[in-house]
Structures are given as structure tokens and as C-alpha cells.
Amino acid sequence: MTERLELYKCDICGNIVEVVVEGAGELVCCGQPMRLLQAGTNDDASTEKHVPVFSKTETNGMEIRVGAEPHPMIPEHYVMFIEVISADKNYVKRKYLHPDEKPELVIDKYINNSLAREYCNIHGLWEANSD
């Protein structure tokens, strides 16, 4: 059984899918089951460059940066996307990134108890909670 907003990856072709509507079926790509991605957190290694960091903006918005120490953003190693998800999972904001961009997402409103996730092309999925 899948759950809304879970991320799955195909280990053959690299496709990543996010569940929009829950279902009982198995997600399959390239003839094999897709792997549910498990996010790294503050408790894991390499946190200084991967765990999302929250801060409030001057206009009571929210800025999410990837890493206490900025994550590299070069073609060989970069953050592919950042997203923030409200606690009730009814609001999702995602920003896709390219190697020459800063690894950050800014939104107009601070969302209490939200979850931020980022996906590094080498080190995979990482997450942190805002509060």
C-alpha cells in the first residue's frame, strides 16, 4: 500500500515518482518493483551539507536552504529539487534546481510544523521538520 507523497525510485533507469493518490498496487518500472526512498535526517552522516535548514524571512515567509554549510551545486554533484510539505499534507511547494543555482526555496508564508525534503543526485533524499 502506498501513501500520499511517498517517493519511489527505479534502480534501473533512475525514474523517481511521488505518490499523488494512495493505492494498493505495487509501483513497477523497467519490469521490477520501485524502491521506496528513505530520507536521511539530522541523525545521519553528512548532515552539514544535506539536511534542510529553515529560517523566517523579514516578511514572515519561509526560506529553506540545503545544509548548514552550503551544498555543492556543480554538474557532478547538486541538489535536484527542494520541497516543503505542510503537516496535513494538503500543501506542497517544490522547486527544481540546476547546478548553477543556489540550493534554496523561499515561500511567502511560514508554515508551522512543515517538512522539507531535498534530493541530492549523489546522496539521495534528506529531510527535516520546521519546528
List, in sequence order, the alpha helices (H) in 6-126.
47-50
Summarize pLDDT for 102-129 with one digit per residue, the tens: 999 999 999 889 999 999 999 999 999 9
CATH of the domain at 26: 2.20.28.100
Judgement on whether residues 30 and 91 belong to the same structural domain of the protein: no
Assess if residue 41 is contained within a domain.
Answer: no
pLDDT for 127 equals 94
Assess if residue 31 is contained within a domain.
Answer: yes
Residues near 69 by beta carbon (within 8 Å), at least 6 away in sequence: 48, 49
Assess if residue 57 is contained within a domain.
Answer: yes
Average pLDDT over residues 49-61: 92
Judgement on whether residues 60 and 122 belong to the same structural domain of the protein: yes
Residue with cell 529553506: 64
**Residue 33 pLDDT class (50, 70, 90 cuts):** very high
**Residue 38 pLDDT class (50, 70, 90 cuts):** very high
Q: Which domain holds residue 118?
A: 47-129
The three three-digit cell numbers of residue 80, written as one number: 535536484
Q: Is 47 helix (H, G, I), strand (E, B) or coil?
A: helix
The three three-digit cell numbers of residue 82, written as one number: 527542494
